């Protein structure tokens, strides 16, 4: 079945959104399970660490293969692999044999498949839609991610009480099938191979993405900026925030789910604005300006907040600007990088930006356990 323009992108976007919701439900349920089993933030933070490390290491190789082979096939195989990982966890849980280290292994394997799926999705979208629609398409992707943030905590919390964690994982597996089905019914536009990448040695192609970025000062400066942003975000939002909410609320899972849902609401609204508007004309202003506003709103309010209403306001205020900054940044790269090398360049970009996230998790876990969490408990310094 052949489609063109935004129709093919919208169909794929829908399937990926459904899959995102399923994956987020499983991760939320297993995050709570991990915290209940261990009671320490480091164990939770390590889930993220083991997910991101393979992504960083495998991305350069994935980028080469994305430029050599059909990006649709790569996305299908990545979705299939992620589904198999969930099936493995489901079997272990039903046998009563699931342990924390199993989750670390599963996250690592899933990270490998994500290293293929994410840059393939971004590179493929460049050839599907007109240049003027890049910002809107990015807004739609942010809406999908936000939908998973909103729906996953609520659905996972409800389903865990009704059908237990294994029921959540079974639903997750069904969502993978939806994503794969949408990919099976479309064809991606062909990408011209301007440099005959498929005939070059793998070692040469592994360097292409990095060399392309280093040779262009504007892209290199933008990348360095987002490397720093990702490190700070990993320490604050990804690793410390969940345990901070649990510590200040006395382990209230509803409070944590509400805050994560609020983060999703803000991102959904921001994604909606971006999908309709397309972002500012000068995308660099959006990439940097909205980043500053997001951190200022979120970090300040979370730092002074002691109650759920304040946390919800902080979550919505900070996450609203995230789709705007991500969309602006992504559009810059899609415009500046030729389609035939986007797999390698986007993989290199993703690897370098993402490398700071596991580092942030490693820093944040011990800080949360030894400093922040004790300080936030009743009678603590804060």
User: 118, 142, 137: which is closest to 127 by C-alpha?
Assistant: 137
Q: What is the pLDDT along the chain (382 residues), one digit of tens a residue?
A: 444 678 889 999 999 999 999 999 999 899 888 888 888 777 877 887 788 888 889 999 999 999 989 999 999 999 999 999 999 999 999 998 999 999 999 999 999 999 999 999 999 998 888 888 898 899 999 899 888 878 887 788 888 888 889 999 999 999 999 999 999 988 888 776 655 445 577 778 889 999 999 999 999 999 999 999 888 887 887 767 887 788 778 778 788 878 887 888 999 999 999 999 988 888 999 999 999 999 888 888 888 888 999 999 999 999 999 999 999 999 999 999 999 899 999 999 989 988 887 787 777 767 766 766 566 555 655 5
Nearest to 195 by CA among 72, 349, 344, 351: 344
* Closest C-alpha among 175, 152, 25, 166 to residue 88: 166
Rounded CA separation 62/348 (Å): 10
DSSP state of 114: H
CA 319 to chain centre: 14
pTM assigned to the model:
0.81
Ordered by where they begin, the domains of the chain are 5-186+206-376 (1.20.1250.20)
Q: What is the largest CA-CA distance in the chain?
A: 65
- The answer to whether the beta carbons of residues 103 and 34 sit under 8 Å apart is yes
Give the pLDDT confidence score for residue 382 in this predicted structure: 54
Q: What is the pLDDT of residue 13?
A: 95
Residue 189: predicted pLDDT: 81
How much is the pLDDT for 375? 62
Q: Please choose, from the candidates 347, 275, 336, the residue with its C-alpha nearest in 3D space to the C-alpha of residue 122.
A: 347
Closest CA to 60 of 219, 166, 202: 202
- Chain center to CA of 348: 16
Q: What is the dihedral of CA 280, 329, 222, 281, to 10 degrees?
A: -20
């Amino acid at each position: 079945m052949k489609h063109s323009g935004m129709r093919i992108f919208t169909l794929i976007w829908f399937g990926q959104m459904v899959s995102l919701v399923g994956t987020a439900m499983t991760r939320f349920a297993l995050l709570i399970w991990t915290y209940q089993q261990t009671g320490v933030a480091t164990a939770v933070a390590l889930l993220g660490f083991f997910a991101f490390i393979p992504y960083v290491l495998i991305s350069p190789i994935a980028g080469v293969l994305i430029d050599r082979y059909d990006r649709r096939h790569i996305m299908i195989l990545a979705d299939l692999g992620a589904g198999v990982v969930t099936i493995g966890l489901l079997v272990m849980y039903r046998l009563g044999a699931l342990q924390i280290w199993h989750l670390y292994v599963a996250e690592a394997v899933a990270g490998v498949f994500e290293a293929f799926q994410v840059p393939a999705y971004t590179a493929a979208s460049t050839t599907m839609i007109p240049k003027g629609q890049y910002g809107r398409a990015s807004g739609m992707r942010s809406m999908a991610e936000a939908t998973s943030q909103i729906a996953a905590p609520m659905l996972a919390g409800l389903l865990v009480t009704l059908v237990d964690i294994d029921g959540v994982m079974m639903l997750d597996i069904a969502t993978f099938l939806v994503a794969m089905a949408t990919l099976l019914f479309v064809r991606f536009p062909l990408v011209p191979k301007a440099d005959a990448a498929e005939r070059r040695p793998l070692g040469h192609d592994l360097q292409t993405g990095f060399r392309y970025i280093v040779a262009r000062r504007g892209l290199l400066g933008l990348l360095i900026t987002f490397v720093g942003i990702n490190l700070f975000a990993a320490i604050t939002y990804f690793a410390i925030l969940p345990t901070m909410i649990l510590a200040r609320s006395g382990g209230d899972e509803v409070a944590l789910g509400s805050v994560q849902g609020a983060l999703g609401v803000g991102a959904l609204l921001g994604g909606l604005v971006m999908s309709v508007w397309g972002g500012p004309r000068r995308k660099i202003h959006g990439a940097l300006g909205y980043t500053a506003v997001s951190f200022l709103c979120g970090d300040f309010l979370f730092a002074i907040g002691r109650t759920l209403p304040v946390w919800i306001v902080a979550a919505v205020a900070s996450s609203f600007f995230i789709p705007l900054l991500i969309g602006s940044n992504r559009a810059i790269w899609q415009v500046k990088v030729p389609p035939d090398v986007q797999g390698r360049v986007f993989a290199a970009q993703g690897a370098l930006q993402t490398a700071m996230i596991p580092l942030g998790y490693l820093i944040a876990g011990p800080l949360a356990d030894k400093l922040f969490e004790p300080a936030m408990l009743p009678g603590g310094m804060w």
